[in-house]
């Protein structure tokens, strides 16, 4: 397998794992929400307070953060994006070094 194909395979495998974990998180959230409602209303755990909406809301917020990470952030900030950013920073540093060298040569009257 070529290096490029291997990188594509690893990226696809990583994305599949992320999505699998997200789907599992959703199922766990759904079952956990039902359990919280059941525990509060039917089993009578702290029946004086409706606490399950707070638990579900907090868990939903965490699920939304997980969703954003998988489908928004990681979809465009992948290896290709990292390489492009690194290349851009390297080019910027090289231009700065060239400018410093030109300024130094000009200051010391050095000709190439």
Q: What would the pLDDT profile of 69-86 be if each residue is shown by its tens digit?
A: 999 888 777 777 888 888
Residues 15 and 69 in one domain: yes
How does residue 111 score in pLDDT terms, banded at 50, 70 and 90? low
Residues 71 and 82 in one domain: no
User: Which pLDDT score, from 0 to 100, does residue 112 have?
Assistant: 59
**Alpha carbon distances (Å) from 64 to 1, 20, 31, 50, 68:** 37, 15, 16, 23, 6
The domain in which residue 68 lies consists of: 3-77
Residues 23 and 56 in one domain: yes
Q: Which two tokens stand for residue 9?
A: 């395979």
pTM of the predicted protein model: 0.68
Residues 49 and 96 in one domain: no
Average pLDDT over residues 8-20: 90
């Amino acid at each position: 397998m070529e290096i490029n194909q291997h990188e594509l395979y690893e990226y696809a495998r990583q994305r599949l794992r992320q999505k699998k974990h997200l789907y599992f998180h959703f199922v766990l959230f759904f079952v956990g929400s039902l359990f919280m409602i059941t525990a509060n209303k039917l089993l009578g755990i702290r029946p004086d307070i409706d606490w399950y909406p707070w638990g579900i809301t907090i868990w939903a917020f965490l699920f939304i953060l997980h969703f954003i990470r998988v489908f928004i952030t990681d979809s465009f900030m992948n290896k290709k994006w990292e390489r492009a950013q690194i290349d851009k920073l390297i080019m910027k540093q090289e231009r700065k070094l060239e400018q410093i060298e030109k300024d130094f040569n000009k200051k010391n009257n050095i000709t190439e």
